[in-house]
A and B are shown apart, each in its own frame.
Chain A
Amino acid sequence: MQGFDPALFEQIEFLFLAGMVLVLAYLALEHKEIVYAAFFFGFMASFVAGFFLLLEAPFIAGMQIAVYTGGISALIIFAVLILPRVQDSTLEKFASARVRHIGLLISAVVTVLTGFLAIIFPWAESFNEAFVSISQDLNGLALWLWSENGIYVQMVALIILTALVGAIALLKIDKAEQLGVIIGASGGEASSTKDERTIADDVRTIDESKEVDA
């Protein structure tokens, strides 16, 4: 197409993605309904993958979609769904206006200062800013990761596995302790599981607090 400038198109694409990411991130933090907030976070993670495609890192983009959009968002939505108190937006307490203003001020100062440093820092002198087109070199990346730094990858995998096993153990220990208390108090087998009791208690507490508010 005559007069078509790919660089301009790329810049427009960047601005569109940046706008979407910032708006969705803001909505994920500020939307009143936390279920919608969790979905907005998932959409934001998908748009971030667009930046990785722009930066010619398609493998990272795929990983971003698989882990953030597919895994972490699903985990957050799952957590929201199994906690009935969280779903009720009327029960959510927000920080006072003073705290919000202070938080906004601190984060704005940090953002402006770091952004200013990013703008004035002599990137061109610190390293060669010429765009190096070695993208999609997955073979090189795999060799670098597994041949030269395989031990670190295995170490990190072990740490992650330990963290996950620890998380499951924590949950199980807590559950077993609470079940022991129920069995001890009733003098026999508990008729329902702790989870069912917790959910029933939650629903009752929500109803009571709504009656108080009314």
Chain B
Amino acid sequence: MIPLTWYLVLSFMMIGLGGYGMMVKRNLIRILIGAEIMGNGANIALVAISLYNPVFYFTGQGLIMLVISVSAAHTALALVLMLMYNRRYNSVDLGKPIEMEGR
């Protein structure tokens, strides 16, 4: 049996990696990918905890289903916002508005 700690360490590593992508990257698509990696890490932690604790078995799995569904919707919304950003600034670079203002 794999200890619960292994899953949690892995999920925290994924959350850290996704956080790094969100903090450092300037491309909106890469930032979105970073957010999705963080979400995947959180999902692994939730499923692991729900399976190792009988009290949370259904709660965890039901929660994951809702999280995955909401994640798909938020990605679609993020992509629409990205298209609007691209139309306005002709770029998906996050620093573009600051550059255009000359700051």
Contact = CB atoms under 8 A, between A and B. Distances in A.
Contacts of A55: 7, 47-48, 51
B72 A25 contact: no
A14 B30 contact: no
A1 interface: no
A26 B81 contact: no
B12 A118 contact: yes
Contacts of B75: 71-72, 75-76
Nearest to B12: A114
A45 B26 contact: no
A4 interface: no
A171 B20 contact: no
Interface string A63-102: 1100110011001101110110110000011110001101
A80 B29 contact: yes
A202 B34 CA distance: 26
A190 interface: no
A4 B26 CA distance: 49
Most buried by B among A21, A129, A201: A21
B24 interface: yes
Interface in A138-163: 140-141, 144-145, 149, 152-153, 156-157, 159-160, 163
A106 interface: yes
A54 B1 CA distance: 10
Given A29-B25, A94-B26, A134-B54, A202 B90 contact: yes
Contact of B62 (A94, A141, A163, A164): A141
B26 A167 contact: no
B44 A34 contact: no
A132 B57 contact: yes
Given A132-B51, A160-B70, A167 B80 contact: yes
Given A92-B27, A103-B23, A107-B20, 18 more contacts: A14-B6, A21-B14, A29-B21, A55-B7, A60-B43, A68-B40, A71-B75, A72-B72, A86-B27, A107-B16, A131-B52, A134-B54, A135-B51, A145-B58, A152-B66, A170-B80, A170-B81, A174-B87
28 contacts: A14-B6, A22-B13, A25-B18, A29-B30, A29-B33, A41-B37, A48-B44, A55-B51, A60-B47, A60-B61, A67-B69, A67-B72, A68-B36, A79-B79, A83-B83, A85-B92, A95-B24, A95-B26, A99-B24, A107-B23, A118-B9, A132-B52, A145-B58, A157-B69, A160-B69, A160-B72, A163-B77, A198-B87
